[in-house]
Amino acid sequence: MILTFKNGINMKTIKNYIKKKTKIYSLEYGVGEIIGIYRLYDGINDYIEVKFYSENNGTRLFPQDFKSELRVISNPIELTFMLKCLHAKISDSGTINKLSSNQRIGTEMGLGNLIGVISNLLRRVELKDVDKKLLTQCIDSLVSEVGHVFKINDKRARGIVSEYLRVA
């Protein structure tokens, strides 16, 4: 019997993430990895344990439906494609005068969703402070992923992301 979390990820996949020390990204806490499964006695609402690399953030527990708060590292092909999509989205559509202030990451914090949020925020004419903070967090998260996926330092990763953010 394979135990499956609510988000469709089964226990075997989580154990594989732990074994391979798969990188996990959080807008709030930065880069980390899943180090364990915290089981509750009823087995219904288990949690995953994530150790973040930042000393300030340490180890945290996330609900089994972690896709709403975390995303798993992408592969180089997927990441390159999504960076090209980001560039196309921000250079194609012009500016947006106003979007709903409630528009945020959404229910799933996947790479495509992150790219969509960045492009929408960059196309706005004016950004509120909360939107500026979200944009910074999203870009920093993307930079971290580029660095880890392509195995380059933060400065080079930031340069790559900046190139894709540059509007033609």
Tens-digit pLDDT profile for residues 63-102:
877 777 888 888 999 999 999 999 988 887 544 433 333 3
Give the number of C-alpha atoms closer than 13 A to the C-alpha of residue 87, restricted to the C-beta side.
15
Q: Tell me how far apart the alpha carbons of residues 83 and 145 are, in angstroms, rounded to a whole number.
A: 11
List the domains of the chain with CATH numbers.
11-72 (2.40.10.170), 76-165 (1.20.58)
Position 7 scores a pLDDT of 46
DSSP 8-state class, residue 69:
T
Does an H or E element contain 31, and which?
A: strand 30-38
The pLDDT tens digits of the residues spanning 29-69 come to 989 999 998 887 766 678 889 999 987 889 998 887 777 78
Average pLDDT for the chain: 81
What pLDDT does residue 146 have?
94
pTM of the model: 0.73
Residue 107: is its pLDDT beyond 50?
no
